[in-house]
């Protein structure tokens, strides 16, 4: 046995999700000890609810990043458009029709973005432009006014707590498990990872790069639709300026979770853990009375530190 074999066997590699879980546990312990009221059940439910909607979108965003398309900067604007459309469709056709039509429109919006990304080749510029279109359509369809709905089914969806857990959190858990399973056990999931790892090799190998981009964009759009529908259902209203400035939150969850910026590495479960970690940190800082500016600064520094740490770990793992 050579020294190289010994060093290889001695090297212990933790699963990527383990880093996120360890960070969450450490923060939970520190916050519980140092912050009165943090460990209360009602406060933890607030954290879970806050993490859930951001996490659902972050899970969809992880498909974009893993597939090698960086990020989509249209998520918050698309959320506003879908919220407005859901309110209008529910008021006109009822909750069930409004729900399914909104999800269908979301998929179409995702597919339209994927076609543009394939043609233009720059996901950042493409989705930034689409974001402007989506936000403009939201203002147009809503007339820049608040749209209100009256639906018992929608109100239940937005406020119910089956088994004591908010519906948003159930959706978050289901989305995380389902998305992880698709990436790990479906052929298209493996293609998403391979296309992100080496796009040129993927094209040369005959992988369905266009289909991968379409599925990634559709996954994000469905996540955004779920967020929009849940939000409108909870507050029984929609408006064009919903989710303004939330794009950084979705991207931060992906990066803090440790998904490789260049694609090809990571799972949606890491993005889900990143969303939980950020929600815990935000709640911890809020209970300590830190201002919004300080909280934003700390979250930004956390993103920078996370990217640097995972870059170092990946370098050592080679």
Q: For 105-118, what is the mean pLDDT?
A: 96
Q: What is the pLDDT of residue 6?
A: 40
pLDDT of 152 over the 70 cut: yes
Question: CB burial class (10 A; 0-12, 13-18, 19+) of residue 255?
Answer: buried
Percent of the chain past pLDDT 70, that is, above it, reads 93
What is the percentage of the chain residues whose pLDDT exceeds 90?
A: 66
Would the pLDDT of 254 be above 60? yes
Average pLDDT along the chain = 89
Kindly state the average pLDDT of the residues 54-60: 95
* Mean pLDDT, rounded, for 5-28: 67
Residue 193 has pLDDT above 50, yes or no: yes
Q: What is the pLDDT of residue 15?
A: 65
Fold of 38-316: ABC transporter involved in vitamin B12 uptake, BtuC (1.10.3470)
Buried b (16+ CB within 10 A) or exposed e, 150-160: ebeebbebbee
Query: What is the reported pLDDT for 45?
Result: 84
- Is pLDDT at 194 greater than 60 in this prediction? yes
pTM of the model as a whole: 0.89
pLDDT at 294 over 50: yes
Task: Write out pLDDT tens, residues 128-140.
Answer: 999 999 999 999 9
Query: What's residue 8's pLDDT?
Result: 43
Q: Which of 244, 219, 21 is nearest to 111 (CA)?
A: 219
Give the pLDDT confidence of 218-229 residue by residue, as tens digits.
999 999 999 999
pLDDT at 308 over 90: no
Specify the pLDDT at position 1: 47
Is the model's pLDDT at 144 over the cut of 50? yes
Q: Read off the pLDDT of each residue in 16-39 and give the average, rounded to a whole number.
A: 86
Q: What is the pLDDT of residue 263?
A: 83
Q: 2-16, 240-254, 288-302: which has the minimum mean pLDDT? A: 2-16
Cα distance between residue 237 and residue 298, in whole Å: 32
pLDDT band at 9 (very low <50, low <70, confident <90, very high): very low
The DSSP annotation for the chain comes to: --HHHHHHHH-----HHHHHHHHHHHHHHHHHHHSTTTT-HHHHHHHHHHHHHHHHHHHHHHHHHHTT----TTHHHHHHHHHHHHHHHHHHH-HHHHHHHHHHHHHHHHHHHHHHHHHH--HHHHHHHHHHHHHHHHHHHHTTS-EE---HHHHHHHH--GGGS-HHHHHHHHHHHHHHHHHHHSHHHHHHHHHHH-HHHHHHTT--HHHHHHHHHHHHHHHHHHHHHHHHHHHTEE-TTTTTT-HHHHHHHHHHTT--TTSSS--HHHHHHHHHHHHHHHHHHHHTT--HHHHHHHHHHHHHHHHHHHHHHHHHT-
For the segment 196-217, what is each residue's pLDDT rounded down to a tens digit?
A: 888 888 888 888 889 999 999 9
Q: Where are the domains of the chain?
A: 38-316
Q: What is the pLDDT of residue 316?
A: 58
User: Is the pLDDT score of 59 beyond 70?
Assistant: yes
Specify the pLDDT at position 16.
66
């Amino acid at each position: 046995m050579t020294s190289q074999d010994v060093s290889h066997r001695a090297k212990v590699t933790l699963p990527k999700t383990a880093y996120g879980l360890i960070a969450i546990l450490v923060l939970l312990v520190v916050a519980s000890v140092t912050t009165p009221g943090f460990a209360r059940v009602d406060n933890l439910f607030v954290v879970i609810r806050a993490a859930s909607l951001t996490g659902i979108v972050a899970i969809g965003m992880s498909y974009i990043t893993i597939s090698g398309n960086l990020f989509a900067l249209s998520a918050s604007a698309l959320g506003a458009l879908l919220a407005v459309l859901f309110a209008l469709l529910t008021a006109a056709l009822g909750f069930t029709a409004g729900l399914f039509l909104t999800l269908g429109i979301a998929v179409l919006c995702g597919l339209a973005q994927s076609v543009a990304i394939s043609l233009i080749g720059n996901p950042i510029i493409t989705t930034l432009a689409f974001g402007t279109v989506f936000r403009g359509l939201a203002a147009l369809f809503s007339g820049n006014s608040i749209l209100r709905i009256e639906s018992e089914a929608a109100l239940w969806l937005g406020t119910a707590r089956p088994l004591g857990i908010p519906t948003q959190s159930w959706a978050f858990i289901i989305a995380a498990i389902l998305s992880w399973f698709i990436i790990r056990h479906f052929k298209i999931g493996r293609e998403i990872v391979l296309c992100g790892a080496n796009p040129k090799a993927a094209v040369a190998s005959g992988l369905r790069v266009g289909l991968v981009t379409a599925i990634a964009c559709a996954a994000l759009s469905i996540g955004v639709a779920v967020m929009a529908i849940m939000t409108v259902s909870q507050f029984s209203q929609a408006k064009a300026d919903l989710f303004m400035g939330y794009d950084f939150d979705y991207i931060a969850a992906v990066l803090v979770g440790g998904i490789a910026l260049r694609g090809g590495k990571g799972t949606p479960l890491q993005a889900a853990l990143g969303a939980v970690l950020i929600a815990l940190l935000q709640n911890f800082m809020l209970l300590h009375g830190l201002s919004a500016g300080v909280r934003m600064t700390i979250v930004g520094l956390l993103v920078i530190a996370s990217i640097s740490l995972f870059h170092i770990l990946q370098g050592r793992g080679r």
